Amino acid sequence: MDNSVLRSLVWLDFRLAVVFTVIAPLLLLFWAYKDKNSSVLRSLTIYWRVSFLLAITVYLLMASLPIGFLTGWAARILMPVSLWFWQDLNEDIDRSKGKLSLIYTSWRWAMAIYCAIGTIFGVGFLKCGFTSAEQLDDSCKILLEAPLQFKAIFHNGVNVDTLAFGAIVALIVYLICFAVFAIFNLPKQGRIAFRD
């Protein structure tokens, strides 16, 4: 693929990611809180916990750590799964009437489609996750441009080693929490989100 086309697609994806994975769910969270819709609130709370991996990915890529290519790909799989996995939440949302439920369901479908396309597109760049930062090819470096621009705007002057350390610690904590959930909670809880 031509580098200019790839660069355009990467920046389009970055903009769509901000809209679909940050702004829209944040607005829906406030709306659900205002309407006291417990099912949508619970679903979005789970989503935010899972999508934290995407934030960690941005910081890993700011530090040019190749593992960020792998965590970003995994986040695109886990986010829509977190939105559709819970049987009780899906049933409650399907039963409820009103604009919030309709818009929330529409956003979940849009997220599933967006993440599916991103996951398929990202398969071609998984190789970047297995290469040292010094040996990344041009296509991998193009994928780093958006996180590096984010760093220049929001973390200008912050040492790259500090960002790398914070991102790695956050990833380790995330993986421990995910493992605890998968090993202990999920077998007991099943697909029911409200079970204690």
CA distance 70 to 18: 19
- For residue 196, give the nearest of 29, 28, 42 by alpha carbon: 42
pLDDT at residue 2, as a whole number:
86
* Structural tokens at position 58: 């941005």
- For residue 21, give the nearest of 41, 51, 46 by alpha carbon: 51
The average confidence (pLDDT) of the chain is 94
Residue 45, pLDDT > 50, answer: yes
Residue 196, pLDDT > 60, answer: no
Residue 116, pLDDT > 80, answer: yes
Residue 18, pLDDT > 60, answer: yes
CA distance 2 to 17: 22
Task: With beta carbons less than 8 A apart as the criterion, state whether 66 and 130 touch.
Answer: yes
**Other CB atoms within 10 A of residue 80 CB:** 21
**Predicted confidence band at 97 (pLDDT cuts at 50, 70, 90)?**
confident
pLDDT at residue 122, as a whole number:
95
Task: With beta carbons less than 8 A apart as the criterion, state whether 95 and 106 touch.
Answer: no
Handedness of CA 100, 90, 113, 97 (dihedral sign): negative
pLDDT at residue 74, as a whole number:
98
Residue 1, pLDDT > 80, answer: no
pLDDT at residue 9, as a whole number:
95
Q: Where are the domains of the chain?
A: 3-189
Please state the separation of Cα 93 from the chain's center in Å: 22
Specify the range with the lowest mean pLDDT, choosing from 52-56, 64-68, 131-135: 131-135
pLDDT at residue 195, as a whole number:
56
- For residue 52, give the nearest of 78, 19, 14, 15 by alpha carbon: 78
CA distance 164 to 160: 6
pLDDT at residue 22, as a whole number:
97
Indicate the pTM of the whole model: 0.93
Residue 41's φ and ψ, nearest 5 degrees, are: -60, -45
